[in-house]
Amino acid sequence: MATLCRPAVSVPEHVITMEETLELARTIHADHPQLPLALRLMENTGVRKRHILRPIEETLKHPGFEERNSVYEAEAKARVPAVIRRALEDAELRAADIDVIIYVSCTGFMMPSLTAWLINTMDFRSDTRQVPIAQLGCAAGGAAINRAHDFCTAYPDKNALIVACEFCSLCYQPTDLGVGNLLSNGLFGDGLAAAVMRGKGGTGVALERNGSYLVPETVDWIAYDVRDTGFHFKLDKRVPGTMEPLAPALKQLAGQHGWDASDLDFYIIHAGGPRILDDLSKFLGVAPEAFRFSRATLTEYGNIASAVVLDALRRLFDEGGTPESARGLLAGFGPGITAEMSLGRWTTSGSSPAAAVGARSRVGAASVSTVAPNAFVDAYTDTEEPDRAG
């Protein structure tokens, strides 16, 4: 059975706190008629700090899409290999043991994909399959897990590598003054993550079922406008209500597997904002504490798009894992409106006790190094303040 092993996560060295974000908004947008609303929405996200690629003074400039995309490529090549090496180490595999690389990102563009560069520079085999996913936003983290699961189910002796690289700060658009864009400026952060799915053996979540669901007639609720200046994030004010139709999809997937989605042992959920988690807690009928890993990611890093799910899972490992055969749900949400969901049990099979203890002990700097806007985020309204934002 395919096992999703411990993720490695990296965030950049530059940090901006929520207090600094609010002060910048007050300074830059002092005359904005809806500034008070935007400030309240930012404060309600629950984000305390975010990590960004460059100092805030440089982040706020827009040198043009060409230069920004060049930064994306250079920074990806500089930072991705380190998280891959840690993910391989925690899975007790080598680059040559990987049969497919699934690379997800929605904040920059390369062709050939970074996967080709990785194969040429990191000792991956030349016959390693490449699956780059560029247009699923925050849902891509869950989609990458599901496609890796599909691959390892089809080829039980094979191994998959998942890589998420999101530099949301490169999508900052100083001329976009809508409340949704102002909110996203205080919500999204930069981050990278990698994880191995082993076809056999390994410690982590042994996946048993996955599924996808798209909420009908919502394709324009979360979207990009692609302009000369790059990616412009679009967010519909109806987005906060999407957990109500998505929760039944999670329940249905669990029910098909003979499980009750309201009675599982762990939940690894993409957090676009606290409203998403509050509503999911309500509609699934689970305690808010069930989403503590997702809330911690949001608080410490902001919304790091497709990397959120992997970072939340990393936090479960840092807590020491969970009892053998404990049942859990993983889910990512994003444009579409799309949900990518999977079910699995915790397993330590195939790993020696010493290796498992060693992997769990590599926390802090060894798990998260210091490497921000689109994907799933609780939306806003131009005329009134929602109960919660994020």
Amino acid at 319: E
Nearest to 35 by CA among 385, 299, 388, 275: 385
Tell the residue number behind the tokens 């394709």, with chain if given.
219
Of 5, 106, 138, 165, the catalytic one is 138
Tokens at residue 99, please? 């049969």
Question: Contact 367/9 with Cβ under 8 angstroms?
Answer: yes
Rounded to whole angstroms, how far apart are CA atoms 189 and 300? 10
Strands 266-269 and 327-334: parallel
User: How far from the centroid of its chain's Cα atoms is residue 321's Cα?
Assistant: 20
Rounded to whole angstroms, how far apart are CA atoms 357 and 375? 35
Tokens at residue 380, please? 């806003």
168 is catalytic: no
Residues marked as catalytic: 138
